[in-house]
Structure 1
């Protein structure tokens, strides 16, 4: 639970150092500022059945389905401790002279970004998670994709928790909301497996945005939501001396629900499609593969997840999850090292002496199988402490 505190205009302008900018941009007399976030410590002990993960990899900080080692000779155990999920959120709301209002959000954390170090200072750079404005029915900026339902994220100590089965993308977008309906055009990007396998090709050659629509039905028992996406996969590049100009169409659906059971709840998600790629399971499979004729072919994927949250009493609660991902690869094109399927399951216990503070322990078991049949698993024990404000 986060507690939002109104900051006085004078304190905000002095602390953030934006006094002159704020006065130039909007009358402060009509603007309210908010600041909230949390400080979070994560300690992780991870045991891999088939090797270890390289130092500096984001899979050391949180679970990445496609990075579980496979085919190694020995088991490996690694311990990591960090505060990179710590998060700060700045908000503003301005009453306009025409009677309308406009809101803005800027949210930062320290995940994923490179160039940190663990030798002396353990410094890490901040990154933008969200940066957007809302005016009337419009959302403009960077935030969760309309294809994602953020309300089905479970309360886990892992950064995402049901990574194998969930849609997870933040990106720049223009979204229009009318009642239960949402429509958006969003930033396009194509990820491609080279012919025969190899290093992922990331193409920014799309000529049209990703098109997404969503409908959400809300009732006293919870909600159910259906989203659909249509997008272009494109590669305009030179590979092995050949000029490549190829496109393919991609589409998919994402069905989600949260069902209230008294103080408990169940959260469900199911997604399937052709060419979902980077939207699904943190890009466990690419959106397309390049064939021998230098044409791209979309890869079909399916993911699903379930999470159950139970309150033991006013201070103790637990979440239990299972999530799974499967890619229908054409092995003659992708090669045998492509990820075929992954799954993970976790259980935790969380103690909150007050709403602002929580401590927790979480067990995770995960498996990854590649097309050759090789597989590897992960056992992880995670401890977290979090102070929200």
Structure 2
């Protein structure tokens, strides 16, 4: 199909969507002469009520960083409502007769258009931005909270990379995400080498499973001082179908010098990988996991409950005199939801969530909240 013809087809389809003719069960598809393209996405409304303190951020997700700890928790106001539609998403997929696949997708978090996916793929070779290869959704419990449970497998985010997939195995070289602290401030590490990952993901009968490993360089160079160290991480995830109506799923992760990949550790998403002591980088370890149950109640109704926890080991840094008392040591949360589909392509749901944060110095704080979501797919 000639490029101008494809553009005309997409324009015509987009016009139909704007006029309300896009109520199909799946993405809007066009194609000719071996080319296929589809437009997909959804409109999403999220509303939250924070019962005892305001921890809502964009998409009305709960943030560990917003939880008051210690004496501050005793003086907090109560009852906060918020709503937004920034989770709304739009994407385009196209495939050529030769099998070249291109995906471009964006959403509006935290309030402006951002790129989620932008990549091409051919015969197992992927170049661009998409989910990190050090990531799996196999063991995830379904939640309405966009940021979900602590301790999920891997990065749970999208990053620029070069990836090769053969069967159940995939390997990647990715843009590095590293940071370190001297106690006074957190600094991004030098991007000297790509992060390397390997993942195996497969299924057998009612069991789906995934495992991955990562190695990265954590370094800095000020021109007058420098140091580097090797960090690594690993995770395993699995989901088991318990009959036709229930699933049990979970994840487990361990990191050492790679806490950026320990999901929802630190202040909210990733703790520092190392601390700086006398010009030398010392690695920081962490671990975490999640467990959950999903239930299909029939008639388009489902219920899910999940729990997640991550802990960062700051003991060495504390023993070495680094000021880390206010750092988050353990983050944990629990989410329970009820979701229903009143008509095809429409989802409504309500979720209760409990968050707790414990700092290195022993201060802690918690928060409870209720989230409502409505989503319209096309």
Query: Under a length normalisation based on structure 2, what TM-score does the superposition of the two structures give?
Result: 0.85
Structure 2 alignment gaps of length 5 or more:
16-30
**Pairing of 1:220-239 with structure 2 (within 5 A):** 220-237=205-222
Secondary structure at the aligned position of 1:12 is classed as: helix
Give distance in 2, aligned partners of 1:165 and 1:172. 20
Match of 2:176 in 1: 188
Secondary structure at the aligned position of 1:278 is classed as: helix
Give distance in 1, aligned partners of 2:77 and 2:179. 30
Match of 1:266 in 2: 248
Match of 2:357 in 1: 368
Residues 1:228 and 1:156: Cα distance change in structure 2 (over 3 Å): same
Secondary structure at the aligned position of 2:144 is classed as: coil
Structure 1 alignment gaps of length 5 or more:
1-6, 18-26, 113-123
Secondary structure at the aligned position of 1:307 is classed as: strand
Q: Is the 8 A contact 1:164 1:304 kept in 2?
A: yes
Q: Is the 8 A contact 1:161 1:321 kept in 2?
A: no
Q: CA deviation at 1:14?
A: 5.6
Q: CA deviation at 1:294?
A: 1.8
Q: CA deviation at 1:364?
A: 0.3
Match of 1:210 in 2: 195
Q: CA deviation at 1:63?
A: 2.4
Residues 1:225 and 1:60: Cα distance change in structure 2 (over 3 Å): closer
Query: Under a length normalisation based on structure 1, what TM-score does the superposition of the two structures give?
Result: 0.83
Aligned length: 346
Q: Structure 1 residue aligned with 2:133, among 129, 146, 153?
A: 146
Q: Is the 8 A contact 1:47 1:76 kept in 2?
A: no
Residues 1:248 and 1:16: Cα distance change in structure 2 (over 3 Å): farther
Match of 2:67 in 1: 68
Deviation track 1:108-150 (CA, whole Å, cap 9, x = no partner) reads 11123xxxxxxxxxxx311011111110011111111111002
Supply the RMSD in Å over aligned alpha carbons. 2.3
Q: CA deviation at 1:310?
A: 0.4
Match of 1:45 in 2: 49
Secondary structure at the aligned position of 1:150 is classed as: coil
Q: Is the 8 A contact 2:59 2:86 kept in 1?
A: no
Deviation track 1:179-222 (CA, whole Å, cap 9, x = no partner) reads 111111111121112x2x2332123x232111101112311112
1:318 corresponds to 2:299: no
**Pairing of 1:83-94 with structure 2 (within 5 A):** 83-94=85-96
